[in-house]
Structure 1
């Protein structure tokens, strides 16, 4: 039996059997039949080329040499390791290189508080409020304790929306809206200084927005509707868009109660209309009115008062109507004040029409040029120191200066109490300080007022102002009761003449009001009514001879060759006009009758001068034929042509005048029914009369020139001398008959010319009768037949007249 020997080999764990076999800072790892040494983490063999052991010990690795922490931290080496100390705002991230990494403070954090924006930065962070917010403490960044709050941009930056816009604050933002009447050029962008709100011109964009017969006035932010001249809004001064319309013929509208005016006991509708205008302005304090509306209001107030260019007839007596005048002055103050826009700075406004001439000037803070303001109205001027007034009125001041056409009729010169004879010698001017609390003047105001005519040597020009104590306690608009004469009058208090010459006067006044120049004539006028008595007596005599001439032309048997048509109708026209002129002051109160009488007188006077012109023309044609040997069948122009010219031309003139300005006929300032001076309507008569007089003078001179051969050939015996005197008398008589003596109307400065004018022009009928009737042999024979009751006997007469017989007729009185 064979025996086997088994040998069991066991591995020796050198790591266990031999302590420290690998040395310090190392790890020993047993392997089959051997072992392996490795350095601990953070250590490395002294000789990295060979394994570590007792002879090649593990030593510490200095990791900091590789800067593992980076630039934002400090590295501290330790045995077998290292430690990073990161800077503020950084943290150690073991797996990151470098290990000091930025801390994102903003991530999932409310570090900056609400309504803020957190922005991470290397090692730190910043906090800012969202747009439209600001920190509670503006000198520190927002945080959880210094939270962001809303910014009121509208307060912080007042001009953020630009001009003419409203700024509305909202949470974190703001809203810009343009003022009413303004719009954006670029509507897609919010209003700002670069995209401002601009005015909308409603008058151009919406044609006809105000309606017919209106004036649309565009102003920044809005527009105004007014009526054209001669019209007035149906709702009064205040225009209501879509309701108001322009009303013509104001007196008819008032009479038909279009304006819904309440009248008090004893009050006229016209006066109530003024009161309504005044009340509208009181009830709408602060309203702004455009120039055309103010112009319409002045025109309407003067029209209903019976004065001014648009009045149908002058209804105010020569004593005036101070009560109505004071109401209009109070109304004027409110109307001018309504023209002043709040915040206006250095503006000048004018309103000019046939009724009003107004200048308005305003100044604001910063206007300091040291010069006086000069305002003008209808050639008159006012110098006023607005800067001194502004000092006591928040550095702002305004002044208005105006005249109203016809105000001199209301505020008559007879309100000036003096023993002397007085006359209104200028326009009535009014100075106004609108919307000013302190109106005390620091220095006098100078008014340069132009005279209406040259001052006579015996005249004294006086500066006066309108003093109305009743306006201190009441406007007077609610009653027709006139103020007491002692309470309402022209006064000289506080006004004096600084300089005067023949054309103008400078008045200095220590207060502002309504002013005028009144001429005082030292010698009162004579009480005698001699001229009026003489005129009536002469007219009666003239009418008597007109009647005789008319009867003679109608009833006498005239030679068929003699054409008396022009003479007959000249007598008829002159007689009727003279007769009506005696009664044209009796129907002043009856408006219709006065208008008809004025129109009829216009027609008759123009017709009289046309027949004078035709008579002059026929006389000239007759005299020219004396130098020619011919057979004359009938003297003068054909009868139809005479009628057409004699009555047709006056009819056309009167018709056109009535169409142009029908209100020109009626009662005048002299309280007679005649043609008004308003709008120079009296030239509807003066123009034709001057034309006819000029033509008559030319024809008269031409007629005398044609008679030269006849007058030169006359012999100087007794018989021929008598004929010469007769012809000279007839020539002078024709000068009167043809109206040439009306030229004397230009020379009425003394009593002699006044008497001569009355006598010659009232006796045209007398001269007509003498020349064409009494000095006519055939007519005298007819008179003799009538007186001897034998006028029915047949009369013989030839039909052909030679040149010699025609010359004898000239001498015997046919022409």
Structure 2
């Protein structure tokens, strides 16, 4: 009985356990090994709350909340059974997005973005930002760029680029195509951002402008520098890298960019070919920090050759001439107020010519007669033969000038020039009188010498009285034109002498030249050359220092080109003449008297050509380099030209000496009315002798 009782109890317990195991744990719970545990609905069904909401689990239940940027029309916490959906909050309308001044709020699903208004750029360099990040929108100085449109009219190459950059400045959100901004050139930086592409396009356009040489018009130079400064200030904030370096055919540029909520501190240093720029970041930032600070240094290649002028406003203790001895550079920073810096900037220039001369730091001042070099605000810290350190209290375009002595103000040289050329003019005058009045030496060769002396006399006289009279531009141009014509004429007459000697040796029976042909070659050819030169470049006559041909654009070659051709032609004729003379001397029956005369004529002609040719070799350095030693050599050789002409063609000629003696005797000795028969006979014999000699020389 007892066993039956125990068996019943066991069956009852088993039945009770089975009943308990089949019991439901209720909503929000799950049975785990006969234990009711909380069920995490958020893990079981991640999308249980629907779109734009997230699930939060609770004990035995859960609730939903909208994502940030979304809201409901009623309860903050809800479940799907409530039939509530999350809707986007327009932060730009409700005012929760305080983007700041000069910004635009752009709503997006579940959020918003702040962007800068047209003409402004964010201080962090990004297109979008959120309020509370400390980002400011700063002006891009579009008004400054818009002012460059008027200046760009002087440069057709810049019109499209200025327009492109202006549109980008005013509306940066619009994509800008750079494919055709500079003609047919293709952008080599396709992976770069807008700033890098704009920089490359700008340098391409600048290369096009500077490729064929740049006009020395001061107003155009000022406009060029103004455009470059504005472009660099505009491009700098749009760059993505903190340091950018670009080298093109005609420029070398480096740009630095610092971003941040606080102004950068310390020094910075930039380098381009031939120049180094050192300053402080607080100088580049100025009093108004824009969230970014930029600095740029651009070096021009070859521009110094076009700007080797406009030195009239330089004040020196003694009058000097100048020459640019460095690269011309443009330095600029994002600071708007750079006319009077509290901390001066430093520039170090490498010299183009390693000379231990006096050097001067200058900048291009656009307010001086449309533009000129000036030393205002710039001092030379230290200078050596290799480089010069400059300190300036403003920013602009800079260069280093090498000061040369103004040779026109050296007293000793003035004396040498006055005495030497006066002596040469006296000798030329005596030669002209001799060749014109002495009948016994009249011949084709004598006619050539006469007009050679006339050309040189007029040229040296005008040179003496007018070469430095540069104050009147029109008068100076006239003086330069006269010098150009008569110096070319002198070389043409010397060439005719070479032709005449050639004919005397080669064409024995036809040695004379018709006067009309000689005058056409001696005076007509120079007239044609000068007329063409004046028509092509009238402004090339006269420079700031001399009333002579300008070296700009190679205009000086309108003189040196024909001179070189004439010298080469004369050398050819002289070589043929010497060769033929050698053959005739070695012949069986040489006419020694005629050959010796031709030999003497040839020697004097070659000496004459050498003196005049060598003189103008040094004359090239005299007018181009303007150095004292070259000026002395040029002046001395100019003086020797007249003396040499008198000695070779007058004093060494016995016939001319006899005429001189006769002339002097008529002046110094009283004339006698009575003549003896013996004297009459002697006079008749001398006249016959001179007549024979004249006939022989004329035949030669």
Calculate the TM-score normalised by the size of structure 1: 0.48
The 1-side partners of 2:235 and 2:257 are apart by: 11
Shift of residue 675 of structure 1? 0.7
- Say which of 726, 733, 742 aligns to 2:604: 733
1:588 is matched with 470
Label 1:140 to 1:808 Cα distance change in 2 as closer, same or farther (>3 A).
farther
Shift of residue 413 of structure 1? 11
Q: Contact 1:295–1:351 at 8 Å: present in 2 too?
A: no
Q: Contact 1:613–1:692 at 8 Å: present in 2 too?
A: yes
Q: Contact 1:602–1:654 at 8 Å: present in 2 too?
A: yes
- Say which of 283, 300, 303 aligns to 2:217: 303
User: Does 2:281 align with 1:399?
Assistant: no
2:423 is matched with 538
Aligned length: 527
1:264 is matched with none
- Say which of 650, 657, 664 aligns to 1:770: 650
User: Does 2:503 align with 1:606?
Assistant: no
Q: Contact 1:542–1:763 at 8 Å: present in 2 too?
A: yes
2:569 is matched with 695
The 2-side partners of 1:707 and 1:436 are apart by: 80
1:150 is matched with 88
Shift of residue 534 of structure 1? 2.0
Q: Contact 1:168–1:174 at 8 Å: present in 2 too?
A: yes
Superposition RMSD in Å: 6.7
User: Does 2:557 align with 1:677?
Assistant: no
Q: Contact 2:157–2:208 at 8 Å: present in 1 too?
A: no
1:760 is matched with 640
Query: Residues 57-96 of structure 1: matches in 2 within 5 Å?
Result: none
1:450 is matched with 352
User: Does 2:156 align with 1:214?
Assistant: yes
Shift of residue 685 of structure 1? 0.8
Q: Contact 2:615–2:638 at 8 Å: present in 1 too?
A: no
Task: Select the structure that is richer in helix.
Answer: 2
Query: Residues 788-803 of structure 1: matches in 2 within 5 Å?
Result: none
The 2-side partners of 1:765 and 1:603 are apart by: 20
Shift of residue 635 of structure 1? 1.8
Note the alpha carbon deviations across 1:327-381, whole angstroms, 9 max, x for none: 999969955755644332444467887xxx67453445599xx9964312xxx33
User: Does 2:530 align with 1:654?
Assistant: yes
Query: Residues 71-470 of structure 1: matches in 2 within 5 Å?
Result: 133-135=70-72, 148-152=86-90, 168-169=106-107, 214-215=156-157, 222=164, 303-304=217-218, 335=230, 338=233, 340-344=235-239, 345=241, 346-348=243-245, 359-364=253-258, 373-376=270-273, 380-382=274-276, 396-402=293-299, 405=304, 409-411=309-311, 415-417=315-317, 424=323, 426-427=325-326, 429-430=328-329, 432-436=331-335, 446-451=348-353, 455=355, 460-462=356-358, 464-466=360-362
Question: Helix, strand or coil: the match of 2:637?
Answer: helix
User: Does 2:403 align with 1:516?
Assistant: no
Pick 1 or 2: higher relative contact order, CA cutoff 8 A, min separation 6: 2
The 2-side partners of 1:373 and 1:752 are apart by: 44
Shift of residue 643 of structure 1? 4.7
User: Does 2:410 align with 1:496?
Assistant: no
Shift of residue 676 of structure 1? 0.9
Note the alpha carbon deviations across 1:14-54, whole angstroms, 9 max, x for none: xxxxxxxxxxxxxxxxxxxxxxxxxxxxxxxxxxxxxxxxx
Note the alpha carbon deviations across 1:532-568, whole angstroms, 9 max, x for none: 2223312431441354256349x89957xx5766445
Label 1:146 to 1:779 Cα distance change in 2 as closer, same or farther (>3 A).
farther
1:20 is matched with none
Label 1:704 to 1:301 Cα distance change in 2 as closer, same or farther (>3 A).
closer
Note the alpha carbon deviations across 1:399-447, whole angstroms, 9 max, x for none: 32446646554447974558x9886571474562322489898997643
Q: Contact 1:773–1:779 at 8 Å: present in 2 too?
A: no
Label 1:558 to 1:518 Cα distance change in 2 as closer, same or farther (>3 A).
closer
The 2-side partners of 1:777 and 1:417 are apart by: 54
1:743 is matched with 614
Question: Helix, strand or coil: the match of 2:497?
Answer: helix
Shift of residue 303 of structure 1? 1.5
Where do 5+ consecutive residues of structure 2 fail to align?
A: 1-21, 29-48, 54-60, 94-102, 120-151, 168-200, 623-628, 672-691
Label 1:511 to 1:811 Cα distance change in 2 as closer, same or farther (>3 A).
farther
The 2-side partners of 1:527 and 1:581 are apart by: 18
The 2-side partners of 1:542 and 1:511 are apart by: 58
2:479 is matched with 597
The 1-side partners of 2:259 and 2:399 are apart by: 30
The 1-side partners of 2:417 and 2:428 are apart by: 16
Note the alpha carbon deviations across 1:604-639, whole angstroms, 9 max, x for none: 32232122112212212212345xxxxx2x424555
Shift of residue 518 of structure 1? 4.0
Question: Helix, strand or coil: the match of 2:334?
Answer: coil
Label 1:759 to 1:579 Cα distance change in 2 as closer, same or farther (>3 A).
closer
Q: Contact 2:488–2:526 at 8 Å: present in 1 too?
A: yes
The 1-side partners of 2:486 and 2:595 are apart by: 36
Shift of residue 174 of structure 1? 9.4
Where do 5+ consecutive residues of structure 1 fail to align?
A: 1-70, 75-84, 89-111, 117-123, 156-164, 182-209, 226-288, 309-326, 469-474, 627-631, 789-806
The 2-side partners of 1:714 and 1:526 are apart by: 61
Higher radius of gyration, 1 or 2: 1
The 1-side partners of 2:77 and 2:487 are apart by: 100
2:688 is matched with none
Label 1:331 to 1:170 Cα distance change in 2 as closer, same or farther (>3 A).
closer
The 2-side partners of 1:568 and 1:549 are apart by: 9
- Say which of 535, 539, 563 aligns to 1:663: 539
Q: Contact 2:259–2:293 at 8 Å: present in 1 too?
A: yes
